[in-house]
Amino acid sequence: MTKGGANDELVFLALGGAGEIGMNLYLYGYGPAARRRWMMVDLGITFGDDSRPGVDVMMPDPAFIEERRDRLDGLVLTHAHEDHLGAVPYLWDRLRCPIFATPFTASILRRKLSDTGFEHEARITEIPLSGRFTVGPFDLELITLTHSIPEPNAIAIRTPAGLVLHTGDWKFDPDPVIGPAADEDALRRLGDEGTLAMVCDSTNIFTPGVSGSEADLLESLSGLIGTCKKKVVVTCFASNVARLKTISRAARSCGRDVVAAGRSLRRFEAAARENGYLDDTPAFIDERDLGHLPDGKALIICTGSQGEPRAALARIASGDHPNVTLERGDTVIFSSKIIPGNELSIARLHNDLVRRGIELMTEMDHFVHVSGHPARGELARMYRHVRPEIAVPIHGEIRHLVENSHLAGDCQVAHTVVSENGGMIRLGPGPARVIDHVRSGRLALDGERIVPLEGELFRERKRTLWNGHAVVSLAIDGRGRLAAAPQLTATGLFEEGSANSPDGILAAVDDALAGLGALEKKKDDVVGEAVRIAVRRAFRKIIGKNPVISVHLIRL
C-alpha cells in the first residue's frame, strides 16, 4: 500500500442515508483536500408519499461529487436493493464513473440501466464474492454477510490512514436459505488486523435480541397457507429471493401452484435464475394464466407490501389489475414489515382489502417475516468481532444513529461520530470529528425529468395543492381600454352552486385597473402585479384563502 503524505486525510461523507432510511449515497475521500480522490459507495432512491404530490421517486443530489467527478474513481455497490442502487440509472450520466458490483447486483443493474439507455455506456466490473480489488487509492475487500437479498457485502477499505469497515445492510443468519452465511471469521481477522472505523447499519437498533433466520419461516408459512381454502396472495419485496423460494416451497407443500405478479418481481426472478439462486425452484406461472387454476390451487406472489400505489397489490385491492382479482374469503399475507414512513399508505391498503371481505395476515399477529437488518444483539456481536476505534452510525433516522452510538460505547468503542447527511467526517489521521458541512439536497423524478425537490416547482405545486390556483385573463386594446370583460378561471376554490362566487374577485380586478389610470402608459408587469395583489386580497377577504394567482395580459 502506498505510504500517505503529510497532508493526506481519510474522510467520510454521507449525501444520503444518514438521518434517514433509504437514498443511500456515501463517499470516501483520501488525500490532501485540494487533490482528494473519491470513491462512492451505493447510490439509491426512496419512493414518494402523499406529502409530495406527483413524485414517484426521490434520490440524493450528487452535486458535491458531480463537481469533482474528475477525481471520482468509482462507484461500489454493496447489494441490489433500490435504496442502494436505484438512482444509478438516473444519475450515472452526471458522474460517468466505473461501477463495481458482484454478479447478481450487476445483473439487476444492467436490467435497470436498459430503461434509461445506459446499459452499453456504463462500465460495470463484476467482482466475485470475497473478491479484492482497488478503486483509486482504496484497497477493497468484500466481506460476505447475509441480508434479504442475494450477495450482500460489507467492504473492508484499506488506506494508509487505516482500515474502515463499511457494513452495508446485513444481519447474522445461520441458515439464510440462499447464499452462504456471514463470514464471521473474516470479520474477526479485521479486528485482529486493527480497524480504524466501522460505518454501520442502524436500522433495527431498537429491536432486542437477534433478527431471526429466513429458514424458520417455512414451517409457519406452510401452516398458514394450509388453513386457506380459496385464493392466497403473499406480498413481499421482489428483491427478497430467499423469501420467494420459501413461499414457493410452502405453497407447493400445500398443493398450490405459484403465480408471479408484478414487473419488478419478474425482473428479480430472472436475475436470480441467471445466477443460479433458484435452480431448484420450479418456474413461476405467468399471471396471465391464473384463470386456468382453481382458486384453492393458486398462490400469487406479488409486490406492493408497502402500499405503493402503482405496485401489483394496490391494483389488485382496487380491482384494477388486469389479471388478478380477489373475492370475499380470499387471503392476503403480508410477508414484510412496515417501513417507517409507510404507515398511512399500508393502512389504506389494508382497509381497501378488508372492505372487500379479504382476510389479512400480517407480522402483527402471525410469524410471516424476519428482518434483513441486525437487531441489537447482532450489532453488539459485530462490534465485538471488528473492535473498531471509531463508530460512525448510518442507515437510520437520527434517533437510530444516536442509539447505535450508545451501543458502540457500551461495546468499548473509544470514539463515535454521529452526523447526518452533509457532515464531512475526518477519520484519520488525528481525532475523528466533523470538519466540514456540504450541501446535501434531494432530487425528484417528476414524470420523465429530474428536478430539485426543494426548488420552486414543488413549492408552487404544494401551494397550489393547499390553496388553489386562479388565472385572470386581460385583453387591452391600443387605446389602453379593456377589449373585453376580465375572465377568471379558478381551480380548487369555488364549489359549484355555493354562495361564494367570482363576482367579488372580478370587481377587485376592475378597481385595480381603475386605480392605475391610463393603461396604455403602464408596463405589462406593473399592470399584472397590481391585478395579482388585488385578486389575492379579494380571495383572502371572501373565502379566507391565499391561492396562487397568475395574470395573463394580452395587448391587441
Instruction: From first to last of the 556 residues of the chain, give the pLDDT tens digit.
Output: 556 677 899 999 999 999 998 899 999 999 999 999 999 999 999 877 666 666 778 999 999 999 999 999 999 999 999 999 999 999 999 999 999 999 999 999 999 999 888 888 999 999 999 999 999 999 999 999 999 999 999 999 999 999 999 999 999 999 999 999 999 999 999 999 999 999 999 999 999 999 999 999 999 999 999 999 999 999 999 999 999 999 999 999 999 999 999 888 999 999 999 999 999 999 999 999 998 999 999 999 999 999 888 889 999 999 899 999 999 999 999 999 888 778 888 999 999 999 999 999 999 999 999 999 999 999 999 999 999 999 999 999 999 999 999 999 999 999 999 999 999 999 999 999 999 999 999 999 888 889 888 877 878 877 887 888 999 998 888 777 888 888 888 888 877 655 556 778 888 888 888 888 777 778 888 888 888 999 999 998 888 888 999 999 888 7
pLDDT for the residue numbered 308: 86
CATH architecture for segment(s) 9-209+371-452? 4-Layer Sandwich (3.60)
Amino acid (one-letter) located at 427: L
Q: How far apart are CA 207 and CA 223, in angstroms?
A: 26
Q: Looking at residue 296, what is its pLDDT?
A: 93
Q: Give the residue from 187, 133, 132, 198 showing the smallest Cα distance to 164.
A: 198
Q: Strand, coil or helix: what is 447?
A: coil
Q: What is the pLDDT of residue 499?
A: 53
Rounded distance, CA 236 to CA 271, Å?
17
CB 179 within 8 A of CB 130: no
Q: How far apart are CA 187 and CA 109, in angstroms?
A: 28
Is domain 214-361 classified as CATH 3.40.50.10710?
yes
Report the pLDDT value the prediction gives residue 478, as an integer from 0 to 100.
Answer: 77
From-to residues of CATH 3.60.15.10 in the chain: 9-209+371-452
Tell me the three state secondary structure of residue 398.
Answer: helix
Residues of the chain with CATH 3.10.20.580: 468-555
C-alpha cell belonging to residue 504: 367579488
The reported pTM is 0.89
Residue ranges of the chain assigned to CATH 3.40.50.10710: 214-361
Q: Residue 309's pLDDT is what?
A: 83
Query: Among residues 501, 502, 495, which one has the least CA distance to residue 471?
Result: 502
Query: All 3 cell numbers of residue 116?
Result: 434509461
Q: How far lies 193's CA from each of 13, 171, 375, in Å?
A: 24, 22, 26
CA dist list (Å): 34 to 38, 138, 248, 432: 12, 18, 55, 20
Q: Return the ∠ at Cα 505 (arms to 500 and 508), rounded to 5°.
A: 145
Closest to 42 measured CA to CA, from 100, 1, 93: 100
Please give the pLDDT value at position 219: 96
Q: What's residue 458's pLDDT?
A: 78
Class of domain 468-555: alpha beta
